[in-house]
């Protein structure tokens, strides 16, 4: 009897499908295992929440996600949104929720949410091959635009080998750094060159696929302390709207852990290793029994972070328990670097000459950016930011400062210290303080050079 009823139901469905000229596609919220939300569902939700489409719905839902900057509105259940595609095809979208008929306890979500799209069956190929992929693309773009960017740091490795421990190797916080290229103290021409390079990378997916390269790019930021290397990273992240992964190498035990960290990063991200010359000394890693050559490094150049990492490197004799230069190079541009896409890797250093040439060659660190002392073009940016003085006023007032900045090496951070609190002290007082500081530093530099010459002569 049951089989007979099934056959009748199938026959009715065939007749209905033959007479009904429309087809529908159901997009459930969760995957088959009900463990995570479907990426397609999330993309459709963002696509339909666009202001140009959602205005037709009478009832909306508003939610504030943990990673979003603002309220996100979406269509409520039993609402209809009619969309006309670019080539004139009409589609009807609906949001619906089904609730279980029984009260059986389950660890999976009880209710089932889904979107349905209905269209004429003559447009089936277009909807599947063109329209829905475009929905995914636009939905992902909307998600990236609205989400709160995050700053991650790698947690110390847990002794536990559980799945949960593997998924918590990065600890996130909201990324709220206010840096921007507009306010970055740098020559405008140099800034524009960097912006153009970042834009080419961000829009270069097709190019990287065509030439057969992993979609990644390396930047080496080098220069004295206080020249804005960390601020540059923040400006890059805000410009691209990427997450930032701050990789602390001293917390990484071996190459295997380094690979796990990389695999657990996401696309649209910047992976940063700051002060790489101070946090790691991989050139000293030798096979067991060979003495390390430390003649190039004086005791004054050794610091606690390097000592900690060397202890971690030398703890075991087996190479599989070491963080090595080879492991770091593979992290940057080996096979593992191609896992995922749209990633930027940034090294910062105060001493470029101390780095192994293999670490910073093109293909690993593609673009080398020197962060210099504050010169006049960078000072004009700082004066505009802190003193609210435009370029015309700068030209008339700052001839002496321009000359001093060409003669004296002072970092943008030190210059900024003399321009702060202009609202209380007044712009003129701030500028006078800066001129006095530059003159004093010029005298100190001259005295230091003279002292060095005298010592050399002896």
Q: What is the mean pLDDT of residues 356-365?
A: 88
Taking 70 as the threshold, does the pLDDT of residue 208 lie above it?
Answer: yes
Q: Which residue has the higher pLDDT, 75 or 101?
A: 75
DSSP state of 250: G
Token reading at 400: 């002496």
DSSP characters over 173-214: EE------GGGS-S-HHHHHHHHHHHHHHHT-HHHHHHHT--
Please report which confidence band the pLDDT of residue 32 belongs to, taking 50, 70 and 90 as the band edges.
low
CA distance 161 to 171: 17
> Which tens digits make up the pLDDT trace of 364-391?
899 999 999 999 999 999 998 998 876 5
Mean pLDDT lowest among 4-13, 224-233, 239-248: 4-13
At 13, list the tokens: 């469905």
Whole-number Å distance between alpha carbons of 408 and 440? 10
Share of the chain above pLDDT 70, in %: 72
Is the pLDDT score of 332 beyond 90?
A: no
Handedness of CA 391, 396, 400, 402 (dihedral sign): positive
DSSP 354: G
Q: What pLDDT is recorded for position 312?
A: 42
pLDDT-derived band at 392 (thresholds 50, 70, 90) equals: low
Residue 56 confidence (pLDDT) above 80: no
Residue 7 pLDDT level (bands cut at 50, 70, 90)? low
- Quickly state the pLDDT bin for 55 (edges 50, 70, 90): low
Helix (H) or strand (E) holding 239, with range, is: helix 229-240
Say how far apart CA 230 and CA 287 lie, in whole Å. Answer: 35
% helix, strand, coil for the chain, step of 5: 50, 15, 35
Structure confidence at residue 291 (pLDDT):
41
Residue 148 contacts residue 71 (beta carbons within 8 Å): no
Q: How many helices (DSSP H) and strands (DSSP E) are in the chain? A: 20, 13
| % of residues, the chain, pLDDT over 90 | 37
Tell me which range, 3-7, 99-103, 167-171, 304-308, is most confidently predicted by mean pLDDT.
Answer: 167-171
Q: Give bridge partners of residue 246 from the DSSP assignment.
A: 153, 272
Whether the pTM exceeds 0.75: the reply is: no
- With tokens 């293999």, the residue in question is 358
pLDDT at 307: 44
Looking from the CA of 428 toward its CB, the CA atoms found within 13 Å total 0
CA of 30: how far to CAs of 33, 34, 49, 111, in Å? 8, 5, 19, 11
Q: How much is the pLDDT for 289? A: 39
State both tokens at 404: 């001093």
Read off the pLDDT band of 428 (50, 70, 90): confident
Q: What is the pLDDT of residues 105-159, one digit of tens each?
A: 444 445 788 899 999 999 999 999 999 999 999 988 887 777 778 899 987 654 4
Whole-angstrom distance, CA of residue 180 vs CA of residue 238: 7
Q: Which residues contact 323 (CB under 8 A, 6 or more apart)?
A: 249, 252, 253, 254, 255, 257, 258, 280, 282, 309, 312, 313
Average pLDDT score over residue span 275-304: 50
Section 309-320 average pLDDT: 44
* CB-CB contact of 322 with 316 (8 Å): yes
Beta strand ranges found along 274-373 (DSSP E): 343-349, 367-370
């Amino acid at each position: 009897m049951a089989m007979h009823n099934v056959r009748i139901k199938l026959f009715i469905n065939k007749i209905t499908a033959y007479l009904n000229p429309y087809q529908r596609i159901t997009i459930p919220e969760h995957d088959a295992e009900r463990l995570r939300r479907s990426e397609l569902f999330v993309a459709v939700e963002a696509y339909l929440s666009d202001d140009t489409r959602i205005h037709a719905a009478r009832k909306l839902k508003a939610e504030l996600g943990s990673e979003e900057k603002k309220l996100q509105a979406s269509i409520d259940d039993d609402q209809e949104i009619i969309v006309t595609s670019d080539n004139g095809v009409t589609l009807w979208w609906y949001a619906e929720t089904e609730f279980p008929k029984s009260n059986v306890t389950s660890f999976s979500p009880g209710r089932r949410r889904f979107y349905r799209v209905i269209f004429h069956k003559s447009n089936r190929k277009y909807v599947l091959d063109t329209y829905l992929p475009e929905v995914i693309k636009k939905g992902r773009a909307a998600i990236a635009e609205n989400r709160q960017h995050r700053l991650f740091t790698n947690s110390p490795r847990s002794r536990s080998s559980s799945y949960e421990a593997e998924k918590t190797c990065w600890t996130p916080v909201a990324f709220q750094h206010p840096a921007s290229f507009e306010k970055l103290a740098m020559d405008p021409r140099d800034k524009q060159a960097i912006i153009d390079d970042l834009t080419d990378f961000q829009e270069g997916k097709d190019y990287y696929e065509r030439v057969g390269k992993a979609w990644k790019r390396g930047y080496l930021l080098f220069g004295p302390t206080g020249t804005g290397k960390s601020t540059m990273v923040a400006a890059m992240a805000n410009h691209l709207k990427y997450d930032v992964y701050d990789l602390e190498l001293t917390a990484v035990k071996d190459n295997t852990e380094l690979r796990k960290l990389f695999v657990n990063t996401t696309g649209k991200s910047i992976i940063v290793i700051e002060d790489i010359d101070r946090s790691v000394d991989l050139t000293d890693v030798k096979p067991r029994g060979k003495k390390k050559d430390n003649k190039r490094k004086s005791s004054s150049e050794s610091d606690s972070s390097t000592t900690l990492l060397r202890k971690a490197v030398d703890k075991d004799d087996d190479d599989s328990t070491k963080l090595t230069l080879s492991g770091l190079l593979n992290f940057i541009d080996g096979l593992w670097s191609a896992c995922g896409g749209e990633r930027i890797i940034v090294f910062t250093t105060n001493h470029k000459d101390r780095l192994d040439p293999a670490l910073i060659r093109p293909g690993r660190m593609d673009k080398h950016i020197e962060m210099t002392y504050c010169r006049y073009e960078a000072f004009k940016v700082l004066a505009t930011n802190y003193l609210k003085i435009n370029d015309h006023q700068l030209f008339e007032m700052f001839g002496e400062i321009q000359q001093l900045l060409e003669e004296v090496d002072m970092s943008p951070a030190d210059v900024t210290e003399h321009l702060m609190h202009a609202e209380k002290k007044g712009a003129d007082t701030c500028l006078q303080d800066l001129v006095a500081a530059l003159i004093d530093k010029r005298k100190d530099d001259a005295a230091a050079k003279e002292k060095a010459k005298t010592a050399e002569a002896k």
